[in-house]
Structure 1
Amino acid sequence: MAPLFVVRYEAVIGSFLGETSSRLKRLFDFVRTHQCVLFFDEFDTLGKERGDTHETGEIKRVVSSLLLQIDALPSHVVVVTATNHAELLDRAVWRRFQLRLDMPAPTEAQKEVWFVELQKKLKAPLGVAPKTLAAKLPATSFSDLEQFCEDIQRRYVLALPGADLKKIVAERLKQWQVRFTM
């Protein structure tokens, strides 16, 4: 029952020297006064490996500042992060988190269920059997799957009243297959 504060990295990252660390400090000063959950998406933008030779000294200072801020949080603040690039995170960042969850890619059975639900939502058949579509769609995450379905739904609604759902699905599937082979 605690409020969730979502940190958008583009609102934290600044282009001037010290700006990002300053923004992080203001953020953490604020959350210290609240019983809350602090969520960082795309956490690899802030928690990058400091030993990376391709990174600037500024990002190394940001990571150090971030670690100090996390360490200084009271126990009533829960920090949750998400990343698609866990391999980029600094080892010291990993030690700050007690629980780590890997989110595996959806199975074909899970994708099939997702497509059955999409048909129900659209109140129209997709023109391709959900099982066939699940086998052909190269989704590496549930986020990919959701994005694919939202794209279909958006294009379908915009094409109404004469929308050809089968054609929309076929075009989107072809595009996604090309996207994942690159």
Structure 2
Amino acid sequence: MARADLLLALVRSGAGGDELAFRRAAEALIAEENAKKHKVLASQLSDALTKRRASGATVSPLSRPQESAGLFHEIEPMRRLTDLVLPSLVRQSANGLVEEHHRRDLLRSHGVEPRHRVLLEGPPGSGKTTLAEAIASEIAVPLLTVRYEGLIGSFLGETASRLDALFSAVRTRPCVLFFDEFDAVAKERGDTHETGEIKRVVSSLLLQVDRLPSHVIVIAATNHAELLDRAVWRRMQIRLSLPSASRSGKIEWLRAWSTRTGVVFGKTERTIADRLRDVSYAELEDFATDVQRRQILGGFDSDPASVTEGVLKAWVNRARPDTDG
């Protein structure tokens, strides 16, 4: 059964002629039915909302599937927050966000919505994408990663039009909408080197983000926070900085990964972390998976220490290429 507050909001806004409030209540109702796997009802409600505009109302139409095709990549998230090595403040903030969405009904009973706009900044490989996936996993919603090759067009107004299709497609489903390399579409509008088209895209993007309901969690990640438009910072309710992988962080990550997978390195985590001192968390996961792969192919009789040493030598050479030539 639909939430009583949504039905009440729908009737009140419809009776009062508040089209924006009506649309938001209707989209939240559709999202709830989608979350319950009531696909037929959700589709019928979407069609009814789309037809409402044709009758003269000012409600924006929901995008058709073909309009949003190629604009995002959807995955079912598998990682958990407990799998990640995070600074204490980052972990606390992430857990707080998850709790807000798990207990959103309590918040809404007091007229408060859970936060749903997050900015992650940090160097490549610091775990921004992994954190976005873990948040989606903890809230039990799909992770939708924006595909810039499908979003950014070469003609005037094309990118803004595709942005409209993207946001219309996600408005009625609980999800995490992930923008990696967010500076690609949200650059500072005061930059004199940028074209008027880019500035219009940024304005359209920020407006769309503002209008999203709280069941769509926008997570934007960037390696270059200094390039972002200042208005982006104001709109993000949670702003987190992920540092480069530290020695202690790598040791913790290796221990957790070994416990989770059952793979024995045959060498101490400290030794591995010291020899891979220049790698990121993302690269460290690639290294650990390489070890696991070689152990599987080598059979159960293979010596873990020898396998790890062979992979370590390859990685050390890869991390420090010979520059004499």
Change (3 A) 1:115 1:62: same
Aligned partner of 1:125 among 250, 261, 265: 265
When residues 26 and 42 of structure 1 are mapped into structure 2, their CA distance, relative to the original with a 3 A threshold, is same
| Contact 2:183/2:228 (8 A) holds in 1 | yes
2:203 maps to 64
Deviation, structure 1 residue 157:
6.3
Match of 1:14 in 2: 153
Aligned length: 177
Distance verdict in 2 for CA 1:158–1:44, change over 3 Å:
farther
1:50·1:63 contact (CA, 8 Å) conserved in 2?
yes
Gaps of 5+ in 2: 1-138
On the 8 A contact 1:35/1:77 being kept in 2, the answer is yes
Can you give the 5+ residue segments of structure 1 that lack an aligned partner in the other structure?
Answer: none
Aligned-residue identity in percent: 51
How many Å apart are 1:151 and its aligned residue?
4.8
Structure 2 residue 312 is matched with structure 1 residue 169: yes
Instruction: Report the Cα offset of residue 67 of structure 1.
Output: 1.0
Q: AA paired with 1:96?
A: R
Q: 1:55 and 1:151 mapped to 2: Cα distance?
A: 42
The structural deviation recorded for 1:110 is 2.2
What's 1:134 paired with? Answer: 273
Kindly state the Cα deviation for residue 164 of structure 1 after the two structures are TM-superposed: 4.4
TM-score by length of 2: 0.46
Deviations 1:112-168 (A, max 9, x none): 233345556474536x542122123245643343244345545x3696468944122
CA RMSD of aligned residues (A): 3.0
Q: Which has the larger radius of gyration?
A: 2
Alignment of 1:25-36 (within 5 A): 25-36=164-175
Please tell me whether the aligned partners of residues 7 and 39 of structure 1 are also in contact (alpha carbons under 8 angstroms). Answer: yes
2:236 aligned with 1:97? yes
